[in-house]
Amino acid sequence: MGSPAIGDDGTLYSACYNGYLYAFYPNGTVKWRSAIGTGCGHIPTIASDGTIYIACDALYTIYPNGTRKWSYCPGYELPATTISQAVSADGTIYYDWSDRNGVDGHIEAVNPDGTEQWREYLDNDELWSAPAIGSDGTVYIGA
């Protein structure tokens, strides 16, 4: 399993390499599981409304009850170098990725309805940093 994220109610969310996102009650019992891409141990992000986001072979959006809201695939399978995502106050989801060879780092913005907003090439190297959003809305990423 990957690193967990913790919801406001104490629910733990963790992606597993078996292709599921798990939600655990604080006592450790399984609350639900939701199918996501296999081989994914990335860190989920929880928005202020409780929606869970995780980028694996696609960007998955899961309601707090475990049902899928939508998934976004940019026309190719996302590589395993996607680390995490960040959600802005307006609901835009930002995530970074590098191609299958570990080069050509990009950052992408996806609208709250699951459509692409923009994509930007950042560096001719692998990105191993999650995006962060400043109080003024600026998106930061280490490359």
All structural domains of the chain, each given as residue ranges with its CATH number in brackets, are 5-140 (2.120.10.30)
**Nearest C-alpha neighbor of 66 from the set 10, 26, 11:** 11
> How much is the pLDDT for 43?
86
More confident residue, 143 or 137: 137
> How much is the pLDDT for 124?
61
**Nearest C-alpha neighbor of 120 from the set 135, 109, 128:** 109
> How much is the pLDDT for 65?
96
Helix %, strand %, coil % for the chain, to 5?
Answer: 0, 40, 60
Q: Which long-range contacts (CB under 8 A, 24 or more apart) does 30-34 make?
A: 31/66, 32/65, 32/66, 33/66, 34/60, 34/62, 34/66, 34/67, 34/68
5-59 tens-digit pLDDT: 999 999 999 998 888 999 999 999 999 999 987 767 678 999 999 999 998 878 8
Mean pLDDT (whole number) for 66-83: 74
> How much is the pLDDT for 125?
61
- Distance from first CA to last CA of the chain, Å, rounded? 25
The amino acid at residue 118 is: W
Tokens of 130: 């999650």
- pTM of this prediction? 0.85
Tokens of 69: 């809201």
85-135 tens-digit pLDDT: 899 999 999 987 766 555 567 788 999 999 999 988 776 666 667 889 999
